[in-house]
């Protein structure tokens, strides 16, 4: 059986989740991480998929899909995310030009698209205080006194 899992980068900060991911890797699975996921899903043998009824609240339940069109779309989405995901043991490098981590770049993108700090934290799988701390660091690097100025400077610098 082949098991490939894509998790949020934030799993690197959660001891129990990191322990599970390491166990999965040691058992022959592969684990990669990304700053944010477009959709949480479980694909089974290319024939079935579990997707949340409400992507913003996965506790509300899931739906089991079998339709060929849905499976093709979900498998393609998974492969696209897998291709850009970072293997669990790999070091997250900062962008040479901007100094941003992938998670910081994703945070800027989410906020530039109008998401609140709370929503961005949920998408990134981090706490609200982590989002605010990251933005403070970005603002300092940009020499910005406000978030608006930070957004403007980030855009001017080509960070967005």
pLDDT digits (tens, 9 = 90+) for 62-88: 999 999 999 999 999 999 999 988 888
User: Each residue of 18-53: pLDDT tens digit?
Assistant: 888 889 888 999 999 888 888 889 999 889 999 999
Residue 49 DSSP SS3: strand
pLDDT of 56 reads 78
At 125 the pLDDT is 78
* pLDDT, mean of residues 138-151: 86
Residue 112 to residues 34, 38, 48, 160: CA-CA distances in angstroms?
Answer: 19, 17, 35, 8
Residues 87 and 21 sit within 8 Å (Cβ to Cβ): no
The confidence score (pLDDT) of residue 101 equals 82
């Amino acid at each position: 059986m082949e098991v490939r899992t894509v998790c949020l980068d934030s799993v690197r900060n959660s001891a129990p989740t990191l322990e599970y991911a390491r166990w999965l890797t040691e058992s022959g699975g592969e684990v990669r991480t990304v700053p944010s996921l477009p959709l949480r899903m479980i694909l089974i043998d290319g024939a079935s998929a579990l997707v949340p009824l409400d992507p913003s609240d996965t506790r509300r339940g899931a739906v089991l899909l079998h339709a060929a069109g849905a499976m093709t779309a979900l498998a393609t989405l998974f492969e696209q995310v897998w291709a850009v995901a970072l293997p669990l043991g790999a070091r997250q490098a900062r962008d040479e030009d901007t100094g941003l981590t992938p998670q910081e770049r994703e945070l800027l993108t989410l906020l530039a698209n109008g998401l609140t700090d709370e929503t961005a934290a949920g998408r990134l799988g981090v706490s609200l205080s982590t989002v605010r701390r990251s933005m403070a660091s970005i603002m300092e690097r940009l020499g910005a006194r406000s978030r608006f100025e930070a957004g403007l400077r980030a855009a001017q610098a080509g960070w967005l």
